[in-house]
């Protein structure tokens, strides 16, 4: 079975500070990993995805994530937080070999303090 | 492209009433998903269609829930009878093809409140 664990349901950072949102996965086969963002009253939007090519993945809005197999992690980072980054972020996993069933994490709400 | 369209955006109903949620996927996408989002359980997959055929409905909570996809451009999720515990935001998403790399495009959601 596949799963993801997001550490910290709420994260607060100051504007301009580093953003680090943590995600650890569990999968019996090589995973495909995703980060989605949800702005208030909207659906989810893909930020970036790891599909077994480069381990460092760059996404939209200056976000990036690094796949670390030894740590079973796929943490999301951004060097400098902007007020517009305030949203909820979801880590998700698809295990290769199956159809497109995506397992989402519980989500992390990011607050950016001016 | 208008994206995934869901209606209504908000629905308030009384316990025992029938509720129908509607979704129009992005044209050309052949995979469609229904999700439910709550504070307690997060985002849960309810059902997945591929080429209008239900592939995985293991997430459908119980017989009160049913979903149909009569054609490639329309799907419904029906709850009958509705209960207060069904209150949640329901999302529809569509995706091109069946490859694991394919991004799912989410609609804006329907916020359902059952009194």
Q: Quick: pLDDT tens for A29-68.
A: 778 899 999 998 888 999 999 987 788 999 999 999 999 9
Enter the tokens of residue B78.
């029906």
Task: Check whether B102 has a pLDDT greater than 60.
Answer: yes
User: Pairing state of beta strands B10-13 and B110-114?
Assistant: parallel
Amino acid B78: pLDDT: 98
Task: Check whether A98 has a pLDDT greater than 60.
Answer: no
From first CA to last CA, the distance across chain A in angstroms is 41
The lowest-confidence range among A65-69, B93-97, B110-114 is B93-97
Question: Which run of H or E residues covers position A29?
Answer: none
β-sheet bridge partners, residue A74 = A67
Q: Percent of chain A, pLDDT > 70?
A: 95
Sign of torsion, CA A67 A71 A72 A78?
Answer: negative
Confidence category of residue A97, pLDDT binned at 50, 70, 90: low
The reply to whether A49 touches chain B by the CB within 8 Å rule is yes
Nearest CA in chain B to A97: B100
Amino acid A19: pLDDT: 97
Give the whole-angstrom CA distance, residue A5 versus residue A15: 26
Task: Check whether B61 has a pLDDT greater than 90.
Answer: no
Task: Check whether A74 has a pLDDT greater than 90.
Answer: yes
Whether the link from the prior residue into B106 is cis, omega within 30° of 0, is no
- DSSP class of residue A100 equals S
Sign of torsion, CA B83 B93 A83 A89?
Answer: positive
Confidence category of residue B98, pLDDT binned at 50, 70, 90: low
Query: Which 48-107 residues of chain B touch chain A by CB within 8 A?
Result: 48, 50, 55-56, 91, 93, 95, 98-104, 106-107
């Amino acid at each position: 079975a596949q799963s993801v664990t997001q550490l910290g349901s709420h994260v607060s950072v100051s504007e301009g500070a580093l953003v680090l949102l943590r995600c650890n996965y569990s999968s019996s086969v090589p995973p495909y990993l995703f980060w989605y963002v949800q702005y208030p009253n909207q659906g989810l939007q893909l930020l970036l995805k790891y599909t077994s090519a480069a381990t460092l993945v760059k996404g939209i809005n200056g976000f990036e994530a690094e796949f670390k197999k030894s740590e079973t992690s796929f943490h999301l980072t951004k060097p400098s937080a902007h007020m517009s980054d305030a949203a909820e972020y979801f880590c998700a996993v698809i295990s290769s070999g199956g159809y497109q069933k995506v397992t989402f994490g519980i989500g992390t709400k990011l607050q950016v303090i001016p | 492209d208008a994206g995934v369209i869901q209606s209504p955006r908000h629905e308030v109903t009384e316990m025992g009433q029938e509720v129908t949620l509607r979704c129009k996927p992005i044209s050309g996408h052949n995979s469609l998903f229904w999700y439910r989002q709550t504070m307690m359980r997060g985002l849960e997959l309810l059902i997945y269609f591929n080429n209008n055929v239900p592939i995985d409905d293991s997430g459908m909570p119980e017989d009160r829930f049913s979903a149909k996809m009569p054609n490639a451009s329309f799907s419904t999720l029906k709850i009958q009878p509705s209960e207060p515990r069904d209150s949640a935001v329901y999302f529809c998403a569509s995706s091109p093809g069946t490859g694991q790399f394919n991004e799912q495009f989410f609609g804006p959601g329907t916020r359902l409140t059952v009194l």
